[in-house]
Amino acid sequence: MLTILFAAAALAGGFQHPIPTPAADLPAAVYRERRDRVMQALGGCIAVIEAQGEMSGITEDFRQDADFFWLTGINEPGAYLVFAPKSPFNKVTLFLKARDPEAERWTGPREAISPDLIERYGVDRVRRGSPETNLEGAGMIHDCVAVIAPPTMGKEDRGDADLAARVAQRFGLRLVNKRSLLAELREVHGTEEIERMERAIAITRAGHEAVAKGTVAGVSERDVQTQMEYAFFAAGATGLSYSSIVGAGPDGAVLHWDKNSRLLKDGDLVVVDAAAEYGRYAADVTRTYPVSGHFDPEQAKVYRAVYQAQEDILAAIHPGVSMAELQHVAEGSLRRAGHLKDFIHGFGHFVGLDVHDAGLYEKPLPVGAIFTVEPGVYLPEQGFGVRIEDEVMITPKGYRLLTADFPRKLEDVEAWVAKARGH
């Protein structure tokens, strides 16, 4: 027991807690500016949106849905935001769940409503409970209601969409469909978002450096995961973007491998899809590492095909291209390589507050959009898979590779592994 304690103390003594740069949390002014853009797009209509986050775990950890978080920065359940453009004083009202002193003994105290709370959230008014009374008043001075809740294909619509429709019917107001509004606005990232995503990527680089060093024969996929995640948090991560995927040998041919239990063997490739989160903003990176330090001829041929597909996609990126068009490019490249049937997923997705973030796949990509480029080939019969995943941002003249500090070419990956292992 003493040996374990001394080892723990030594580790703690050598750990330097990183200084967050930039600060993880955004100021209220950022959320206020976002809500102003929503207000301008409403055309004078009322709108209401409800928090859709989810609880998890025995401590009831809450993670807010990205739309509500983008508008407020608030990580509380049971909240609503009401837009009333024609109200003279209370154009944006935030409704928070009623306080429960008994529950707060378990989850921590929540602040009373005060001018300080209004200032912190940057809204015109903060209230507790249901927004229905507020909507009744707004219904008397507006002539339309905009539905901004994202669409769902479920049997029942979201509560806020139903509430908007009920207000329109009750007061004889015109119902306007603005369901794509938040996706359109969130697709273009502001400077403050890009800073935090770049920080998440830099932190992720530190974790993958640990992977390049640690993917050696005899360790387990779980060993690789724990070394990597320790490096993430040591570098300042505020969370994980998603559950880390470490797939060695045939496990690497499983897209979302989650057992992380296999021992690495010489000759294996290890597909590591894992990234850090910073200030709620996600990164998303995948690399394929050779346990022996080198790709064998068959592995190298597949790796080069995946790399070429990524290069072909990157060459096609420019403002105005759509994600659908880029998918066509990816499929064409892997078809030419003879691996289209082994490419079982989309070429990429938007990244932001969620690792699979909001965005419109069929419409032209605007400047400021950030997404992944991640072709992959999966060969369970041969016992391996290869995926290379990077993040790019649309610029006025093309794109910027946000993950440029991660080696991509086969020779560069081998050199990275050799250097990390001190060879």
Q: Which of 413, 365, 361, 362 is nearest to 387 (CA)?
A: 413
Share of the chain above pLDDT 90, in %: 85
- Estimate the crossing angle of helix 191-214 against helix 410-420, to 10 degrees: 70
Alpha carbon separation from 152 to 50, 158, 270 (Å, rounded): 14, 8, 37
Report residue 365 CA to chain centroid gap: 18
The tens digit of pLDDT for each residue in 233-286 reads 999 999 999 999 999 999 999 999 999 999 999 999 999 999 999 999 999 999
- Estimate the crossing angle of helix 159-171 against helix 132-139, to 10 degrees: 40
Model confidence band, residue 7 (pLDDT cutoffs 50, 70, 90): very low
Cα–Cα distance, 331 to 340 (Å, whole number): 6
The tens digit of pLDDT for each residue in 46-81 reads 999 999 998 877 777 889 999 999 999 999 999 999
Q: Which of 46, 45, 53 is nearest to 74 (CA)?
A: 53
Average pLDDT, the chain: 93
**Which is it for the CA torsion 421, 9, 227, 65, positive or negative?**
negative
Cα–Cα distance, 128 to 331 (Å, whole number): 51
For residue 262, give the DSSP letter: P
Q: Provide CB contacts within 8 A for 61, sequence distance 6+.
A: 55
Q: Which residue has the tokens 């779980």?
A: 222
The length of the chain, given as a count of residues: 423
Token output for 358: 């909001």
Model confidence band, residue 309 (pLDDT cutoffs 50, 70, 90): very high
- Does residue 287 sit in helix, strand or coil? strand
The tens digit of pLDDT for each residue in 23-45 reads 889 999 999 999 999 999 999 99
pLDDT of residue 33: 98
Q: Note whether 258 and 222 are within 8 A (CB).
A: no
Cα–Cα distance, 347 to 389 (Å, whole number): 9
Q: For residues 132-140, give the mean pLDDT.
A: 92
The tens digit of pLDDT for each residue in 385-418 reads 999 999 999 999 999 999 999 999 999 999 999 9
Cα–Cα distance, 3 to 11 (Å, whole number): 12
Token output for 11: 């580790």
The region of weakest confidence among 59-63, 104-108, 216-220, 328-332 is: 104-108
Which domains are seen in the chain, by residue range? Answer: 28-187 (3.40.350.10), 191-420 (3.90.230.10)
